[in-house]
Amino acid sequence: MSPLTVVWVANRETALNDTSGVLKLTDQGLVLLVNGTSNSTVWSSTLSSKAENPVAQLVVSGNLVVKDGHNGEHFLWQSFDFLGDTLLPGTKIGWDPVTGLERTMTSSKSADDPGHGDFIFRIDPRGYPQAVLTNGTAIMVRVGPWNGLMFSGATIYLRYSKLLPSDYDFIEKELICKLQPLHTYSFIRSVVTPWGGVQLLHWSRQTSSWETLLSLPEGECDKYSHCGANSFCRVTPAPICTCLEGFVPKYPRKWKDLYWSDGCVRITPLSCSKDGFKKHSGLVLPDTSSSWHNKTMNLQECEDLCRKNCSCTAYSNMDVRRGGSGCLLWFHDLIDMRQGGQDLYIRLPMSEPDDESNKKKLVGMIAGSILFFMSMMFGLVLCLWRKKLEEPEIFWWKQRAHKREKDDMDLPMFDLSTIVYATNYFSSDNKLGEGGFGSVYKGALENGTEIAVKRLSIDSEQGLDEFKNEVQLIAKLQHRNLVKLLGCCIQQKEKLLIYELMPNRSLDTFIFDDSRRKLLDWAKRFQIIGGTARGLVYLHQDSRLRVIHRDLKTSNILLDKDMNAKISDFGLARTFAGDQTEARTKRVMGTYGYISPEYAVRGSFSTKSDVFAFGVIVLEIVSGRKNREFCVPHQSLNLLGHVSDTK
């Protein structure tokens, strides 16, 4: 070649400043570089065993070797064990489990100075070994573990896989690289650059120059953990960093400002026995330095093992060839994922992952219906079923948003990460209460506004109806004695309602508590009764819609900092037309003890139903006793019966 290319330098740190250098081979088999002027040794090889008739040879691969003249196949020393910044075909890189020798590539200080630079390309032996480029001890680029075909992180390599057949063997903790060019007269090499990159080059006879086949990092996503934990990086569309399903940004404000390195955290904690797995396709597997691996297990055995270990967060195949084999398990946060070509199964709470068993049951039901029904009838049912299935919740939301725009209503949509951060990831310490449709958490937005977040239970079908109903109604209702809805959130299967925070929580926490009820003098109790009544009159008479609450009770009367009453929870509420006074339902819903007799017996409800519940609340406020739990010796009457009987 012209010009000649330097691929190995013995005395990287000690330069010879003149032409007096002498290369010697001693009787013991040591290769020496000597300063001819001072006769001092500039560099020396090492020797693992005594040589009787040592011979030094530069072999065709570019390997400088010392061998015993009586055993020409056994190398006493070789330059391939002490790499510089260049990797040639046939070179080993990694750990030798027998000798303990680690073979690494180290960058030069500059193009003109072959001294040891800052960047090292090596095989990280921790967990399942993987190729990494480090700056000191910090990982800069993770080329990934070997997946049977390639280093999984070097996805660009697929473009040239036909030009560069490869053969890598993983033996214990040693990775043997046998990279061979397609033609014997071709030349290839890999280089760690002084500026912190890894390049794969081949010699072009047409241009008489080295041309780059592969260069890492190629983009932002190639930088190690660019998006932080539990997220993945993709080139398009922007933004390039995205949290995995079931996760939200750890610091939403930084995330919005495109600072992603803090990564993402779980929305819902894992519960071990009730967890499932979500399949993610087309990924570069996460950092394997803390992983566990087994070559002989299949994917099902891998899943079973991960499911039994509560600390296991994800699993995947080791080898992608022939349908996949081997098992990889992760036990902590998932680091440094980006677009690639492998499947990863991530542990999530059972309500979040795809339920494969339900899918199989669904297929069975469809198959059974084909045998059971006439083809025309089945086609009609299938058409309606698909229409319902394909109507996503977001479509409903857009319809409601469009309708609110027509009505000049403005209900803000909150980002899930904002709410998760505001409630300290739905911490149990922030939980205000829990009902049939989910839990309520207190929190604070970044501007200091205190909020109460109603988190609808993901498993509750009835809760979804409640959510829609509450949004439709409360967005149109504005009154000082109704709780104010600040906004909502529909994201990642979460359905959240964000209200103003009521510092004194609900009425029942006062009147049914022996110590706290003393804080309510008669003036405050009368104030609460009056406020509840004004809110009820607004719902029944003064609002644009005549609203029947249907679940009025002390726990749904919230108290602000001045102990003003505010009616909340409109999940069961119904609206009446202008001339409508009564309606019926086959499904009686509400809270026993507050349900009117005609509603409980006949399913008939009207404004009188709410007035009945209001009367129960008044009696409970006055007496400090619960209607259903009221008990007098030798009587079987509740509070209402007792009051009626004492007249």
pLDDT of the residue at 358? 47
pLDDT at 291 over 70: yes
Please give the Cα distance from 204 to 642 (Å, whole number). 101
| Fold for the domain defined by 268-356 | Hepatocyte Growth Factor (3.50.4)
pLDDT of the residue at 404? 46
Say which amino acid occupies 524: K
What tokens does 626 get? 């619960």
User: Pick the catalytic residue: 81, 124, 551, 610?
Assistant: 551
pLDDT at 440 over 50: yes
What are the residues whose beta carbons fall under 8 Å from the beta carbon of 593, sequence distance 6 or more?
Answer: 553, 616, 626, 627, 628, 638
pLDDT of the residue at 362? 46
Please give the Cα distance from 575 to 188 (Å, whole number). 77
Which range has the worst mean pLDDT, 72-86, 365-379, 541-555? 365-379
396: confidence class by pLDDT, cuts 50, 70, 90: very low
Class of domain 383-501: alpha beta
Strand 231-233, strand 337-339: pairing: parallel
pLDDT at 312 over 60: yes
More confident residue, 380 or 314: 314
Instruction: Convert 296-348 into a string of H (helix), E (strand) and C (coil).
Output: CCCHHHHHHHHHHCCCCCEEECCECHHHCECEEEECCCCECEEECCEEEEEEE
pLDDT at 545 over 70: yes
Helix (H, G, I), strand (E, B) or coil at 283: strand
pLDDT at 353 over 60: no
What is the separation of C-alpha 305 from the centre of its chain, rounded to a whole number of angstroms? Answer: 21
Please give the Cα distance from 570 to 563 (Å, whole number). 21
Q: Give bridge partners of residue 584 from the DSSP assignment.
A: 604
543: confidence class by pLDDT, cuts 50, 70, 90: confident
CA-nearest of 572, 590, 553, 600 to 463 is 572
pLDDT of the residue at 51? 76
pLDDT tens digits for 15-66?
898 888 999 999 889 999 999 888 899 999 987 677 788 999 999 889 999 9
More confident residue, 633 or 218: 218
- Across residues 297-322, what is the average pLDDT? 92
93: confidence class by pLDDT, cuts 50, 70, 90: confident
pLDDT tens digits for 470-501?
777 777 788 999 998 888 888 877 888 899 99
pTM of the model: 0.69
Please give the Cα distance from 61 to 490 (Å, whole number). 62
Domain residue spans in the chain? 1-82, 268-356, 383-501, 505-647
Long-range contacts of 55-58 (CB under 8 A, 24+ apart): 55/25, 56/25, 56/31
pLDDT of the residue at 163? 45
CA 128-266-286 angle, 5° bins = 20
The CATH architecture one would assign to domain 505-647 is: Orthogonal Bundle (1.10)
Please give the Cα distance from 213 to 526 (Å, whole number). 82
- DSSP characters over 57-68: EE-TTS-EEEEE
The answer to whether residue 551 is catalytic is yes
What sign has the CA pseudo-torsion 238, 240, 246, 248? Answer: negative
pLDDT at 577 over 80: no
- Across residues 608-629, what is the average pLDDT? 90
Q: What is the mean pLDDT of the chain?
A: 82
Annotated ligand binding at 454? The verdict is yes
Please give the Cα distance from 151 to 142 (Å, whole number). 10
CATH number, domain 1-82: 2.90.10.10
Query: How much of the chain exceeds pLDDT 70, in percent?
Result: 81
